[in-house]
Amino acid sequence: MSEPAWTVTVVGVGADGWDGLSPAARRAVEGAEVLRGSARQLSLVPASVAAERVSWPSPLGPAIRALPSAHPGRRVVVLASGDPMFSGIGTSLVRELGPAAVEVVPHPSSVTLACSRLGWAVEETTVVSVVGRPIELLVPHATPGRRLLVLGSDTATPGGVAALLAGSGYGASRVTALAQLGGPAERRFDGRAAGWPHAETDPLVITAVEVVADPGTVPLPTVPGLPDDAYAHDGQLTKRDVRAVTLSRLAPLPGQLLWDVGAGAGSIGIEWMRVHPSCRAIAVESHPERAHRIRQNAGRLGVPDLGVVEGEAPGALLGLPRPDAVFVGGGVTTPLLLDACWEALAPGGRLVVNAVTVQSEAVLAGWHGRCGGSLTRLSVARAEPVGGFTGWKPAMPVTIWSVTR
């Protein structure tokens, strides 16, 4: 394999600036003909370094793509904050230019520095990035006893984290904001989530959380089968026990995409995404009020990135990214609906369909005869008062067809 015609070096720089650079990092910067970085990063390099200094424009993406043509034949060094490959510009450069064109000189990340200050083991600490993303992504990780590090992008992030925790039943959690880690202006802010006393901290801040539940808080796990009352709904909800079985058939895997067709309250897509942060889902719902409710449920339960498509299937499925799994919870008798879902799946994709009526069961029996898979009838009964005694009240049985293409 031939060497790339043009390469760039990425140097991680901490809050301690030039003094904190390794000899290798200093040599790279001193040998540069062009330095690229933010105005703050460029200001950390002493005037004795003679390279041309060029600040990044906004938006950044086009400038990264144009980097090779912007400085042909010149030695370019890009400055990054901390570890360039940890939610940093190094990752973007490798993605755009390829790994052979990018040399990385790393620096300790803010996560490493924070764990060092707190005495936490890095491998036992969960990192959640809300840089340019909704803070509700923190919700699935907020369970008793966990240690979290939250990466933010402004001075209000620690306060936002504290408010979210307090509003979710975790106001007793210990919160520490660590600012300017590793630099001469390093500072620490401590408090509880409830009554967090620091409205503003510092732009260069990482928020550490030791999660503590308030009395009476019932933690919500990431395994499927959340309580039905975790969702706002109008009755169109796959109930808890059926939901758990359905998701076991759908088999969520990291990075995979689910279509939740006829989503109702959005529970299947939401719990698919709660399994792993990289799981993706699109809820397809024809009723605008339900679509609005799905978005609210998704935000409250920590998966605000759930996609919601308003429209009637199968037409609403046109143009959607190809799924790894499809769930159909209603509308089974709609002409060509199952045909569209089946055709959308690649080999190895999973289709799971639930039916509660004789007519929809007949449709599933026909598809089972043609495509195979498994048919399961699930009956659930719940204990309820009968006079002064307790008896079993059965719910409508649900037939589940699951098949791998």
Architecture of domain 228-404: 3-Layer(aba) Sandwich (3.40)
302-316, pLDDT tens digit by residue? 999 999 999 999 999
**CATH superfamily, with its number, for domain 111-210:** Tetrapyrrole methylase, C-terminal domain (3.30.950.10)
In this predicted structure, the answer to whether residue 325 has a pLDDT above a threshold of 70 is yes
Give dist(CA 164, CA 166) in Å, integer.
6
Task: pLDDT band for 3, please (50, 70, 90 cuts).
Answer: low
Q: Does residue 334 have a pLDDT over 60?
A: yes
pLDDT of residue 200: 85
Strand order in the sheet with 205-210: 126-129, 147-151, 205-210, 174-179, 187-192
Percent of the chain residues topping a pLDDT of 70: 99
pLDDT tens digits along 39-84 = 999 999 999 999 999 999 988 889 999 999 999 889 999 999 999 9
For residues 197-212, give the mean pLDDT.
93
Determine the pLDDT at residue 199: 85
pLDDT at 153: 80
Give CA–CA dist 39/17, Å, rounded. 13
Q: Topology of domain 8-108, per CATH? A: Cobalt-precorrin-4 Transmethylase; domain 1 (3.40.1010)
**Per-domain residue ranges of the chain:** 8-108, 111-210, 228-404
Whole-model pTM: value is 0.90
Surface-to-core class of residue 124, CB atoms within 10 Å of its CB (0-12 exposed, 13-18 middle, 19+ buried): exposed
Residue 1's pLDDT band (cuts 50, 70, 90): very low
Angle, to 10 degrees, between the axis of helix 267-275 and the axis of helix 288-300? 30
Express as a percent the part of the chain with pLDDT over 90: 91
106-130 residue pLDDT tens:
999 999 999 999 999 999 999 999 9
pLDDT band, residue 203 (cuts 50/70/90): confident
177-200 pLDDT, tens per residue? 999 999 999 999 999 999 999 988
Start-to-end CA span in the chain (Å): 38
Residues 6 or more apart whose Cβ sits within 8 Å of residue 218: 169, 227
Phi and psi dihedrals of 46, rounded to 5? -65, 155
